[in-house]
Amino acid sequence: MKFDHILVRYGELTLKSGNRNTFVNQLKSNIKYALIPLEGYKVLANRDRMYVEVTEDADVEEIMRRISKVFGVHSVSPVVKVEKEIEAIKEAAVVLAKDIDEPGKTFKVDAKRSDKGFPYETFDLQQILGGEILKHIEHLTVKVKDPDYKLLVEIRRDAAYLYSRVIKGAGGLPVGTGGKTLLMLSGGIDSPVAGIEVMRRGVTIEAIHFHSPPFTSEEAKQKVIDLTQIMAETAGEIKLHLVPFTDIQKMIHKTVPENLTMTSTRRMMMRIADQFARQIDAKALVNGENLGQVASQTLGSMYAINAVTNLPILRPLLTYDKEEIVIKAKEIGTYETSILPFEDCCTIFTPKNPKTNPRLDKVESFESKVDFDAMIETAIEGIETITLSKNNQKTESDFSDLL
């Protein structure tokens, strides 16, 4: 059966009646982005539904697969749209039923009528269409409770829509409707997943990554660019800000006792992220921290690290088990890149015995011996920004002519 439309349902969006137009417009634009570079479709949205009109030669399965992954989409169905004429509806019902025709299978017709002016009652329409299908396809039988197939018919104001498949969508809210956050992106497994998790709730992200060349390699930097690229494929353009962190890291190792260097390193990252977030008008930081996973992620460590900022910090993976995070990373396609063995700045400078319960006053006192404020300012001035969008990337740093 050739379907002429894909029906896109919004689900949760319906709750937000005040912002509905903004949500629908954003979702429409996100769906168009997800469909690049496919052809043969047109996205049509109205207040409570979206239809994607598809041409004869369009790859309907691929279009549906991509739409179903867009955040804010509740479910999708391939549909046949016909005029609200009983003969046309009957004909379409039979054609659709032929598609689900397997000997011995059961079916039922489920009709909904939002156009009350339509001359057939729901029950009558079900009877007529069920009878018509049985007339043309002998080895199907009707079963009202729990049939193998359901043929759904919706009589709406503009037309009649028929379908039998409902494919679950990604849920959540359309990216771009929830404000902006700054994601602290390492090359590890967790932070890309954390980024996708907040995007699922409608938030846009920019990413910040700290690197320490020559201790960290060009490959490690490329890995983070690749991870951002994968996230940008899913959820729209993402800016990646690369912070030169070498000098600060060296200074920490000169000034702070070894077992507190980790705490101090995280605090400096957080201070930079905090200042930079304000510059780009991001309203929160996001990281991939997970309670108790490693020394820097105990409650005691979080307390000492968190003390440098009063921005909200979103930790969507806080209570996940590692296996759950790995499953998600595989789903979003970042896992294979994340496990590439290029070390990031934290791995290289990891102390042998980091404090799991660092004392805030001690850390502060060691740090106060150096003018970290000035170093932080220099690091922020040296930020290189790369914008990643679907299948392409452009560089717009102050140093772009040197790259």
* Residues near Mg ion (CB under 5 A): 186, 188
Q: Minimum distance between the CB of residue 347 and Mg ion, rounded to whole angstroms?
A: 7
Q: Residue 288 binds what, of Mg ion, ligand ATP, none (CB under 5 to 8 Å, by partner type)?
A: ligand ATP
Exactly one of 140, 345, 376, 388 binds ligand ATP (CB under 6 A); that residue is: 345
Candidate residues 172, 288, 354, 358; the one interacting with ligand ATP per rule CB under 6 A = 288
Contact 154, 160 (CB under 8 A): yes
Toward Mg ion, which CB reaches closer, 174 or 188? Answer: 188
Residue 287, helix vs strand vs coil: coil
Nearer to ligand ATP, 208 or 252 (CB): 208
- For residue 377, give the nearest of 243, 216, 254 by alpha carbon: 243
Counting Cα atoms < 13 Å in the Cβ hemisphere of 122 gives 11
**Pairing relationship of beta strands 313-314 and 384-389 according to DSSP bridges:** unpaired
CA distance 271 to 275: 6
Q: Which residue among 64, 173, 346, 379 contacts ligand ATP (CB under 6 A)?
A: 346
* Nearest-10 crossing angle of helices 372-381, 258-279: 50
Q: Is the distance from CB of 309 to CB of 274 less than 8 angstroms? A: yes
**Which listed range, 40-48, 66-74, 143-151, 202-210, lies at the site for ligand ATP (CB under 6 A)?**
202-210
| CB burial readout 188-199, b (16+ within 10 A) else e | bbbbbbbbbbbb
CA distance 353 to 171: 43
Please, are residues 71 and 11 in contact by the beta-carbon 8 Å criterion? Answer: no
To ligand ATP, the closest distance from the beta carbon of 289 in angstroms equals 5
Query: Does residue 261 bind ligand ATP (CB under 6 A)?
Result: no
Cis, bond preceding 147 (omega within 30 deg of 0)? no
Minimum CB–partner distance for residue 214 and ligand ATP (Å): 15
Q: Which is nearer to ligand ATP, 115 or 343 (CB)?
A: 343
Nearest CA-CA partner of 183 in 172, 171, 194: 194
Closest CB to Mg ion among residues 188, 316: 188
* Residue whose CB is less far from Mg ion, 186 or 298: 186
Q: Find the shortest distance in angstroms from Cβ 311 to ligand ATP.
A: 14
- Binding-site residues, in ranges, read 184-185, 209-210, 266, 288, 297
- Determine if 210 is a binding residue for ligand ATP (CB under 6 A): yes
Tokens 């930081």 sit at which residue? 285
Q: Which of residues 48-107 bind ligand ATP (CB under 6 A)?
A: none
For binding to ligand ATP (CB under 6 A), which residues are involved? 184-186, 188-191, 208-210, 269, 287-289, 293-294, 296-297, 344-346
